[in-house]
């Protein structure tokens, strides 16, 4: 009878080990996919932010040039 109990215990341990391994692998895959998704979102967001800053700087330069031209004495 103890032989049958050992087989059941070994099977249970093997199943538990396999399940824990799969859970760990799923967590690793989830973290990896999350990082990929974040990088896919961050790249266009950074480009948009850079473009926006460039456009704001250009607009500010044009405003300063217009103000300078309005204030400057005309010949």
| DSSP three-state, residue 72 | coil
- DSSP 8-state symbol, 1: -
Sign of CA dihedral 47, 49, 52, 56: negative
Convert the pLDDT of each residue in 12-58 to its tens digit.
899 999 999 999 999 999 999 999 999 999 999 999 999 999 999 99
Tokens of 27: 């967590």
User: How far apart (Å, rounded) are the C-alpha atoms in residues 75 and 65?
Assistant: 17
Is the pTM higher than 0.75?
no
């Amino acid at each position: 009878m103890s032989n049958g109990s050992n087989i059941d215990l070994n099977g249970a341990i093997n199943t538990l080990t396999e399940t824990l391994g799969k859970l760990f692998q799923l967590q690793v895959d989830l973290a990896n996919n999350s990082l990929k998704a974040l990088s896919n979102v961050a790249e266009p967001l950074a480009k948009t932010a850079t473009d926006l800053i460039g456009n704001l700087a250009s607009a500010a330069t044009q405003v300063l040039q217009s103000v300078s031209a309005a204030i400057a004495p005309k010949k």
